[in-house]
């Protein structure tokens, strides 16, 4: 336990934190972030979850061809990727649960009940104020929404350039749908290009330099 | 700490430099220990099989140790974004695998212009060429021989090229239509399976490593064989001090990060291979009696002449699919049309254009490489539909000048978790670098617009640069006055202390450095193997002219 900060260690099985740069023990708290985020996600109240879903639908509005952002369980995603209360907030998206839930509470039921234009106005106010919560929630919604398997299916269906996209890079990769080099194109590759042999290197005319220090 | 152990060769760092030297020495019967402060990353630790693979790139797989903050990382302060990893395989565990070589002119930049701290290398392209070939065979490289912008490489082994996809074909067409040089890239990505390694399947997430081994890194290409031959690789072993006595390195004191216990190890030869920031940091942190300014630093040059390359990211979007999420991230093709100095442009040096892949839909929404973040709200859906996978990114990266004040020093206030001083970086772009980069951005968009780009965005000249390339801080040179190392990577001050990593590079070229670091490692390892008795009896480091040859 880092008594000076009153913080618990990182929640990923890490040992004690250090106090500050240069203090005994070093600069970095130890601990590797768990793939997939927290094993025990931060829990939101029903009211907070409703605000979070309303925010998701404001950031990525509903569309008949796509899953609604409020219906792909971004609440769970956010719960896995924010930092629990009392723990050192050291990994992207650098959202600590206390501040994050306070921001949700502040928006509250009024935000949930508002129409889309009013919601957009409230979110725009956060953006203009450069409230850290804005960048956190936008990143969580973008990263969360486009990681959901049902959204990946929608990408394949709706975006011509994404018809082959399948989500996680492995195990499949894309080797079966990549265009190869064609012989005609390759045959033209050696039409341009040259190099200087070692003994050909000579002093250039530095009077032509156009920059000044 | 009680007692010590004795070995023949101590290697510090298990990246391309250390792994390469160990590979050359592994069958000699020498007792070799390699200390690596990080772990051997296992396949399940990679994010490639996870739905959340994109957000994980910002967390445990962030490039910058100051962001990632893993237990094995150490702080790097200053205005810098150092992209490195500390683990078996070094920073190649998250590299793209671009694998170009230097050209002959790159070894003669002192002759060509000599600006700032630029000097000629003590060796030529011809000296290094056979070691490039040997190193390529160890790693496993895909590509196509015959590029007219290079000397003949007829002895190099190549797997078949990675597939270009729509993205590679598009920029190849642009370059061809403009009459520019272009060529399919060499990549440290295998397209045929090897022992314990699967062939590339075009997954495209090499910047988070490769759990299948398709990305050629020392973690796959060297260490299994080094360990099999008896090299004692010790992950989680952080060197605290390199020791010296009587004009020779004597070994190191290291901390076993599993137990916290300190150990001393003595060696007849010490090879430092901790990268272009880590190696000068370690030498400076090893100041001791007789070496008050740090080891190998009697001329004050350790840490100086740091080079990163000058970078800009250039995004182009098309009104047709480009499918950048497909294919190995290693560049499908490159153009060296503007590689050589042309004084009519008003600057020295040149740059390469390297076509890169994109990642997934979150990357598109978050703004790709240039911060072009998708709007939220009513415009989001249309933006996403028009931008995701219609995107082509080209790296502009050019040769930066070696400047004395661009340097790695020790931070007097910040330490790592074991109390070892952090590295501090001072790096500023030179006006020549900026002029070069601005020209390069223009040329890249000239190409993409010629093949139909409907929208473009760029970062401008990036400062601080994305420091994937850590070069020049213990450079090879011609005399003890102009460098830290002689032409065989021996420090001028301590003949049995070698430095073999990016810090060794005298100039940076305008290409990714890993193939050159690897070639130098093969060469240094071969040199140690052939001259072991001579080196272990030297009291002073021989001049380049007097040193024993291969």
- Calculate mean pLDDT across residues A179-184: 92
Which positions in chain A touch B414 (Cβ < 8 Å)?
Answer: 21-22, 27
Cα–chain center distance at A127: 17
d(CA B422, CA B416): 6
Nearest to A61 among B151, B203, B378 (CB): B378
- Calculate mean pLDDT across residues B225-242: 98
CA-based R_g, chain A, Å:
25
Cα–chain center distance at B186: 15
State the pLDDT confidence band at B492, using cuts at 50, 70 and 90: very high
Q: Which of B308, B310, B321, B316 is nearest to B458 (CA)?
A: B316
Each residue's pLDDT tens digit, B28-58: 999 999 999 999 999 999 999 999 999 999 9
d(CA A48, CA A102): 9
Q: Per the CB < 8 Å rule, is A202 touching B163? A: no
Residue owning tokens 């989001």: B380
Q: Which of B12-21, B70-79, B117-126, B482-491 has the lowest mean pLDDT?
A: B70-79
d(CA B481, CA B479): 5
State the pLDDT confidence band at B1, using cuts at 50, 70 and 90: low
d(CA B159, CA B185): 12
Nearest to A26 among B181, B376, B415 (CB): B415
d(CA B414, CA B394): 36
State the pLDDT confidence band at A31, using cuts at 50, 70 and 90: low
**Which pLDDT score, from 0 to 100, does residue B377 have?**
98
B115's enclosing H/E stretch is none
d(CA B323, CA B320): 9
Work out the end-to-end distance of chain A between its first and last CA atoms, rounded to an integer number of angstroms.
51
Residues whose CB is less than 8 angstroms from the CB of residue B87 and which lie 6 or more positions away in sequence, other chains included: B14, B36, B38, B39, B40, B41, B72, B93, B219, B235
Contact, B313 vs B437, CB < 8 A?
Answer: no
ipTM of the complex as predicted: 0.95
Any idea of the CA torsion for B207, B213, B216, B220, to the nearest 10 degrees? 120
Q: Per the CB < 8 Å rule, is A204 touching B341? A: yes
d(CA B209, CA B399): 26
Each residue's pLDDT tens digit, B323-338: 999 999 888 999 999 9
Each residue's pLDDT tens digit, B271-301: 999 999 999 999 999 999 999 999 999 999 9
Counting residues of chain B whose pLDDT is more than 90, the rounded percentage is 94
Counting residues of chain B whose pLDDT is more than 70, the rounded percentage is 100
Give the 3-state secondary structure of residue B142: strand
Which positions in chain B touch A87 (Cβ < 8 Å)?
Answer: none
Give the 3-state secondary structure of residue A16: coil
Cis peptide before B461 (omega within 30 of 0): no
Which positions in chain A touch B390 (Cβ < 8 Å)?
Answer: 161
Q: How many CA atoms are closer than 13 Å to the CA of A151, on its beta-carbon side?
A: 28
CA distances from B328 to A211, B113, B286 (A): 38, 37, 41
Look up residue B358 and give its two tokens: 């994109």
Which positions in chain A touch B124 (Cβ < 8 Å)?
Answer: 198
The burial class, CB within 10 Å (0-12 / 13-18 / 19+), for B278 is buried
Q: Per the CB < 8 Å rule, is B169 touching A194? A: no
Look up residue B186 and give its two tokens: 């060499």
Tell me: pLDDT of A17 over 80.
no
- CA angle (B437, B445, A167) in 5-degree steps: 100
Mutate to test the interface with B, among A72, A74, A122, A173 (most CBs of B within 10 A): A173
The burial class, CB within 10 Å (0-12 / 13-18 / 19+), for B287 is middle
Q: Per the CB < 8 Å rule, is B163 touching A188? A: no
Tell me: pLDDT of B106 over 90.
yes
Tell me: pLDDT of B472 over 80.
yes
Which positions in chain B touch A189 (Cβ < 8 Å)?
Answer: 144, 147, 172, 176, 182-184
Nearest to B432 among A66, A93, A211 (CB): A211
Q: Per the CB < 8 Å rule, is B360 touching A28? A: no
Counting residues of chain A whose pLDDT is more than 70, the rounded percentage is 85
Q: Give B12's strand partners.
A: B35, B272
B248's enclosing H/E stretch is strand B248-256
- Calculate mean pLDDT across residues B329-351: 95
State the pLDDT confidence band at B68, using cuts at 50, 70 and 90: confident
Each residue's pLDDT tens digit, B443-452: 999 999 999 9
- Domains of chain B and CATH, by start: 5-45+60-537 (3.50.50.60)
Tell me: pLDDT of A6 over 50.
no
Per DSSP, A32 falls in state: P
Q: Give B317's strand partners.
A: B391, B455
Domain-by-domain residue ranges, chain A? 1-32, 46-162
Mutate to test the interface with A, among B259, B384, B403 (most CBs of A within 10 A): B384
d(CA B39, CA B235): 5
Q: Identify each DSSP E strand in B275-364 by its residue range.
A: 310-317, 333-335, 351-356
**Which pLDDT score, from 0 to 100, does residue A85 have?**
86
Q: Which of B167, B190, B504 is nearest to B355 (CA)?
A: B167
Tell me: pLDDT of B503 over 60.
yes
């Amino acid at each position: 336990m880092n008594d000076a900060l009153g913080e618990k260690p990182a929640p990923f099985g890490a040992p004690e934190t250090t106090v500050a740069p240069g203090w005994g023990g070093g600069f970095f708290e130890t601990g590797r972030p768990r793939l997939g985020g927290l094993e025990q996600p931060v829990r939101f109240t029903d009211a907070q979850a409703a605000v979070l879903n309303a925010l998701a639908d404001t950031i990525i509005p509903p569309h008949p061809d796509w899953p609604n952002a409020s219906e792909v369980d971004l609440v769970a995603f956010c719960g896995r990727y924010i930092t629990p209360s009392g723990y050192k907030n050291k990994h992207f998206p650098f959202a600590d649960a206390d501040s994050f839930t306070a921001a949700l509470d502040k928006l509250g039921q009024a935000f949930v009940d508002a129409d889309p234009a009013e919601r957009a106005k409230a979110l725009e106010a956060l953006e203009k104020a450069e409230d850290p919560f804005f960048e956190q929630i936008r990143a969580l919604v973008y990263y969360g929404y486009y990681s959901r398997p049902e959204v990946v299916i929608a990408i394949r269906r709706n975006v011509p350039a994404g018809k082959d996209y399948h989500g996680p890079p492995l195990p499949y990769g894309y080797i079966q749908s990549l265009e190869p080099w064609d012989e005609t194109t390759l045959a033209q590759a050696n039409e341009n290009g040259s190099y200087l042999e070692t003994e050909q290197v000579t002093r250039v005319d530095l009077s032509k330099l156009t920059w000044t220090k | 700490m009680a007692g010590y152990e004795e070995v023949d060769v101590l290697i510090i760092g298990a990246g391309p430099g250390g792994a390469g030297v160990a590979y050359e020495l592994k069958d000699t019967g020498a007792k070799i220990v390699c200390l690596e402060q990080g772990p051997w990353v296992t396949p399940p630790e990679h994010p490639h099989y996870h739905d959340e693979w994109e957000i994980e790139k910002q967390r445990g797989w962030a490039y910058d140790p100051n962001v990632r903050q893993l237990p094995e990382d150490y702080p790097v302060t200053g205005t810098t974004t150092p992209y490195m990893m500390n683990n078996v395989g070094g920073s190649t565990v998250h590299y793209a695998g671009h694998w170009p070589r230097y050209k002959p002119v790159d070894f003669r930049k002192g002759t060509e212009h000599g600006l700032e701290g630029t000097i000629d290398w003590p060796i030529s392209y011809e000296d290094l060429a056979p070691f490039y070939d040997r190193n390529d065979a160890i790693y496993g490289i895909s590509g196509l021989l015959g590029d007219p912008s290079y000397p003949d490489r007829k002895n190099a082994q190549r797997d078949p090229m990675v597939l270009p996809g729509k993205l590679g074909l598009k920029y190849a067409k642009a370059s061809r239509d403009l009459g520019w040089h272009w060529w399919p890239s060499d990549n440290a990505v295998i397209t045929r399976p090897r022992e314990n390694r699967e062939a590339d399947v075009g997954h495209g997430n090499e910047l988070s490593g490769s759990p299948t081994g398709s990305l050629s890194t020392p973690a796959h290409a060297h260490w299994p064989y080094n360990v099999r031959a008896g090299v004692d690789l010790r992950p989680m072993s952080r060197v605290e001090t390199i020791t010296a006595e009587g004009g020779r390195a004597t070994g190191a004191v290291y901390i076993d990060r599993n137990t916290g216990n300190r150990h001393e190890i003595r060696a007849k030869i010490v090879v430092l291979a901790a990268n272009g920031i880590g190696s000068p940091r370690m030498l400076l942190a090893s100041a001791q009696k007789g070496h008050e300014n740090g080891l190998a630093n009697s001329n004050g040059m350790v840490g100086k002449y740091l080079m990163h390359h000058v970078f800009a990211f250039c995004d182009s979007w098309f009104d047709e699919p480009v499918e950048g999420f497909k294919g190995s991230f290693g560049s499908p093709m490159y153009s060296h049309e503007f590689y050589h100095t042309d004084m009519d442009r008003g600057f020295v040096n040149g740059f390469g254009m390297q076509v890169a892949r994109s990642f997934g839909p979150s990357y598109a929404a978050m703004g790709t490489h240039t911060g072009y973040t998708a709007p939220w709200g009513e415009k989001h859906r249309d933006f996403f539909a028009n931008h995701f996978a219609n995107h082509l990114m080209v790296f502009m990266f050019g040769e930066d000048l070696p400047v004395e004040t661009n340097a790695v020093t020790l931070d007097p206030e910040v330490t790592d978790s074991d109390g070892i001083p952090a590295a501090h970086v001072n790096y500023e772009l030179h006006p020549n670098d900026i002029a070069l980069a601005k020209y390069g951005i223009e040329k890249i968009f000239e190409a993409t617009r010629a093949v139909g780009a409907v929208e473009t965005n760029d970062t401008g000249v990036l400062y601080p640069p994305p420091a994937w390339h850590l070069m020049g801080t213990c450079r090879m040179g011609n005399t003890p006055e102009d460098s830290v190392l002689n032409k065989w990577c021996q420090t001028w001050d301590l003949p049995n202390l070698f430095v073999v990593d990016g810090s060794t590079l005298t100039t940076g070229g305008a290409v990714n450095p890993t193939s050159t670091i690897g070639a130098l490692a093969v060469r240094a390892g071969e040199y140690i193997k052939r001259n072991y008795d001579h080196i272990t009896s030297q009291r002073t480091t021989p001049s380049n002219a007097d040193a024993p040859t291969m």
